[in-house]
Structure 1
Amino acid sequence: MTNQGMISSHQNSFSALYRVFDLFTILMLLLLSASIYGISVTPLYFSAAMVAALGYLLMAESLEVYRSWRASTAMRMVTTTASAWAIVCVAILVIGFFAKVSESFSRLTIGTWMLASLFGLCGWRLAVRQVLYSLRVRGFNSRRVAIVGLNESAMRMRTQVEQHPQLGFHFDGFFDDRTHDRLADECGDEHLEGTIDELIDRTRNGEFDVIFIALPLKAQKRIAHILERCGDTTASVHLIPDFFTYNLLHARLGEIGTMQTLSVYDSPIFGINDVLKRMFDICFSLAVLAVIAVPMLVIAAAVKFTSRGPVIFKQARYGLDGRKILVWKFRSMTTMDNGDKVVQAKKGDARITKVGAFIRRTSLDELPQFINVLQGRMSVVGPRPHAVAHNEEYRKLIPYYMLRHKVKPGITGWAQINGYRGETDTLDKMSGRVDYDLEYIRKWSIWMDVKIIFLTIFKGFVGSHVH
């Protein structure tokens, strides 16, 4: 019989406990913050804290903070939790400003409380997660797993289960109605634990908690029959889609009327994520432009007085959803290709001016793109936009190339900090860049954007390979 885990047996109780602990964390950290600065907690402070706590609980509910994070990454859990609290903090500050009650509060106290609550809400979750992981590695709070089908996808799933014991999954065997002889080409010497009938009987007896179905989607009738039979058990059932498993872009369920759909190619930046990313882009761009305003004037003067032509080169490129946008750069060349054929700059290219060589090598030519970010055409982080002519060329040569336009193009990106920056003079280089762009879209989070910006500052701006 399976080892019954605490979370499985008392999931609703623990979910309610998490909410209580969040409420306690927010209120207690206000008291602590006030005591640090010698501020007495008046009813006004307490009322603000209660509004913030209740607002957080509602926002956390909306963002599904209280769901099970067993199979998700710690970063995604922290990002979701931090996003819920950040939205509440911004709302409170805006309400306080327009209600003209901000003067009634100590700014240091409120700032310390908001920051401490951010770390507190995320911190205790990470601590609990670590404790649960330690228990699961030791065999507690575990789920017994069976896999239907024996093929490459099934064996990959078995490998992932065994390589991540902290998830609390214990693999118990493959089940299939086909004989071992029929499966030999796919499974080699792998052993079948039994038939589907045996799996269902053993699951009814409580031997399995989770079932993964790794059959090809062309076996639709067979899958439907197995799902119907699994409906007579209490096991959690998951499908492993085969033909697009590694090409999904932010897969999620949706509804059109009464019909359910599964997105295959979609963007992770929608709804509240779109608002958060846009707020981040605006705040970061305004801060950067305030710092680089004078250097930009100096660069503009250098470009203007050392070569003929406009200071700003506006090139047509593809933006979000493949719509054409104009991307701004300081002009670094004597020509301004913007038609059906655009020749990429190469090392020693005669078209590059002396000033242009320096600003291209240091990426200073791209500083005007922070204005594009404020305009909403670009984001600070995202796949780099290519000239329209290059898009039309490579979309015919590289599978899934146009999926990189499911998000706004960026000034820097995941591909750039991984070495794919500057000239892409071979198909392999462009294909490598696209692979990193699609990986960015699959894994996107605000914290990933922050990480990319941080890495760009230290290794992404300057490079001898940039021409």
Structure 2
Amino acid sequence: MINTTLPPAADNVSSVLESEIESVAPPHRARGGLPYSIISTLFALVDSAIIVGSGVAAGAAYQLAFTGSPQDIEVYAGLGLVACVTYALGGYHLGIYRLHHLLQRHRDYTRVLTSWCFAVLALTVVLFLFKVGAEVSRGSVLGLALLGGVSLIGWRRTATRGLHSAVVGGVIRGRRALLIGTPDELARLTRRDLLVSFGAEEIERVTLSATPAGSGAPTISASRHPEIDRAFERSRAVPLDEVLLAMPWSDGDGLDLVRQSSRMSPLPVRLLPDRAVSAVLGNDDATARQSFTVEIQRAPLSALERAAKRLMDVGVATAFSVILAPLMLVIAAAVRADSPGPIIFRQRRKGFNGREFVVFKFRTMTVLEDGTSIAQARRRDPRVTRLGRLLRRTSIDELPQLFNVLRGEMSIVGPRPHAVAHDDEYGKIIANYAFRHHVKPGMTGWAQVHGYRGETAQLHLMEKRVALDLWYINNWTIALDCRIIFRTIFELLRRPNAY
């Protein structure tokens, strides 16, 4: 059975910090605070400011002591810039900006001093190679080395204490994750371990019952397939960024079952190192453990790509809504005059991540079907109104979906959404059909510009449409969207397949 209760506390707590997190930080806290991903950037920016400031301060102090007035301060600011660049390069190589290293105070100081010595050495080499050593006093360089080193250690000590409190208090948030796994593997993963080692914040965990094997780790049998499906369905009800798997790597059959079920979710799915792999890597080596995560399924679009696509959708939908507003008003009046019934036809469709939404269309039929069985429109379909035939042939009946785009339920370009009844039907008989829900549905798509519009009376036609939709998802670019929009205009001028 599936257990969606809160995670149990670890039996052996490896540090005071970890026990504090387990007892203080609530699993379902508010989403305020700092994202895990920007912690290293913030530390790097502050370090850079300290180094440049140390260069200016050291140069100004030297000038005041020996000449009575600060001169050529910009030169010393430039020295600080050179030093901070080399410090950052060395620091990233040594990992001084990784969260788990930031929480290891004494070992982190060693890395900081090593990076700073490398920066000072690099600065000295630069001064020698460019023959500007005579223009820069050795005293100011020595002052920069001493002041910068002391300042970096002092800031790091203060910041580490603050970071420790932030992690304990739940101020730092990671990627929202659904944790799925077997009892043994889940029992050893604490909230602190997930955040520090993998940058993830556990929103909920789902325990899969495993069958004890004759030897070795328990395995998940094929009879648990519905259980795994229900686990992935949880990703639709909870706002998440990824799915993490805590399962024995030796359970090949169980991993195959999970891989099949993951198709219904557009979220990235990662397999965490299991107990055996972690023992080889070392439980304290968070860097090695993070590098050994296995990507079971990648997200179809990155956050930047989703933002670019959404920006394009809003811009295009807004422009077309304004330009075509007079036409839509005329069509609305014509629909009302042509036959009794509402102007706008509403029907449930499945969108991104399989979530249902209501699609808008100009009514073109005398029926308003939205049940478990819906018949596709066919040539000379008696349900289609006189005006409806023209609207469907030219796809003008789809124009109200511009408002679905503005509402964020659809995109201008994407796989065409099907009625819920048809989704349920084809999802059972066409392999990889669920992958269509990995992006938002569109008003037009790659399949439509290749002639696959309207009725799909034969199964192979729907299979071809699905194949084109999947190609689009795997090869998406902004340029491809623009190409599809222009091709759609010409496709509508050809003999349509929509009745």
Given the two structures, how large is their TM-score scaled by the length of structure 1?
0.45
Q: TM-score scaled to structure 2, two decimals?
A: 0.43
Q: Which one has the largest radius of gyration?
A: 2
- Say which structure, 1 or 2, has more relative contact order (CA 8 Å, 6+ apart): 2
